[in-house]
A and B are shown apart, each in its own frame.
Chain A
């Protein structure tokens, strides 16, 4: 059994570079150029509509929570506000970071900055982190966004539903970034030209949190923190629930997104919060396609993909036992069957790159 080293400065990452597994050419389903051009087309209107709904609901729920503060009636308002603040911000950060949500650049950038703050990610650092995630998806030692490392740390996964590990990691990093720019591991994927921006963003975040905490002290109430900061914890559960399903229990160190990503059919509310990232194989294979076109992309290429999970619950029933098995056997992963219409998995791609380092199946 191979022991994985997830450090970006460690031996697994170095080996991925040496063997060509890093920055490799990935498998793509063939889609005619005219069809793909149509799928990639940008539009402002779906994202403007969704953003008005999102921010309108957030203002309404926060107003309800504040008005009813001190009574139990405020609880449902804060729960609803929290999931929009602490979970919908994850998908807005993601889509606007790709620059695909809106056609107009400043709209993408504005929503990206707001969402980055809410989800507690330095907007300058994480733009680069996510680029690496797409270059080297679930390549051990290269991908800085591996949500479930092997063997899985279940206590940490459960705590993540309340935002605890992310928040505990965020604040020391924010202070470090504010004082001296990116950390050593961040400097492996953030270009030097952006280091000053990382520091500037961290200083702004620090000032906003300091002002919010100061207001809470002056009011002798946690109410300001219920609006800014705490919803990243009490509303995190939805983005963790959906995020773990993206790659959990599937292969790592492969260069075929059908092997390491999962598409799950979801209810309309979750799809609104998650902005259609439930079509995750499709998103990784064609990151140029905006969220509102992913259902059409799914229809176009589903003949070449493993069957999607039919619901969130079904996907967890598939993933959870696989994670438990990885506790005792780190190399275990789920390999889902392809339909007869699909091209076979190109395991030869990553086998050739990994050589003797390939996990036993």
Chain B
């Protein structure tokens, strides 16, 4: 049953950056884009077992800290080798100063 979970406050993430969010044994990455919007994806790279939270956000791309693979975090699309498999994304909403993600 999908439910909305509070992930963080809006000012917990700098613009063009991300943070890690763990919930119910799952790990997520929450992004604050340069145009002020928030997004959420699975926390780990689809190439290897590496968390994206130490990676670099460049515009709407997240680059994995281990092998420099890139995803578009808005859609999860794999954009640069060695990643080939898309990243799972999750719906996000902002209410007041809080960021929520919808998880199953």
Contact = CB atoms under 8 A, between A and B. Distances in A.
B67 A23 contact: no
Contacts of B72: none
Question: Which of B66, B70, B84 has most A Cβ within 10 Å?
Answer: B66
A36 B68 contact: no
* Residue among B17, B55, B67 with most chain A CB within 10 A: B67
A178 B81 CA distance: 22
A36 B53 CA distance: 12
Most interface-central of B47, B58, B65, B70 (chain A CB within 10 A): B65
B54 interface: yes
Contacts, number: 43
A352 interface: no
A135 B63 CA distance: 16
A108 to B, nearest CB: 9
Contacts of B82: 127-128, 131
Interface in B58-104: 58, 63, 65-68, 70, 80-82, 84
B67 A191 contact: no
B56 A37 contact: yes
B56 A23 contact: no
B11 interface: no
A193 interface: yes
Nearest to A24: B49
Interface residues of B, number: 18
A36 B56 CA distance: 9
A127 B68 CA distance: 11
Contacts of A37: 17, 56
Contacts of B65: 286-288
B67 to A, nearest CB: 5
A322 interface: no
B67 A287 contact: yes
Contacts of B56: 37, 40-42, 288
Contacts of A194: 81
Interface string A82-126: 000000000000000011100101000000000000000000000
B51 to A, nearest CB: 10
A191 B84 contact: yes
Interface string A122-147: 00000110010011000000000000
A255 B30 CA distance: 29
Given A23-B48, A40-B56, A191-B84, A135 B66 contact: yes
A191 B82 CA distance: 9
Contacts of A42: 56, 58
Contacts of B63: 99, 288
Q: Which 4 A-B pairs have the closest CB atoms?
A: A131-B82, A40-B56, A131-B67, A99-B68
20 contacts: A23-B48, A23-B49, A37-B17, A37-B56, A41-B56, A42-B58, A99-B70, A103-B58, A105-B80, A127-B81, A127-B82, A128-B81, A131-B82, A135-B48, A135-B67, A191-B84, A194-B81, A286-B65, A287-B65, A287-B66
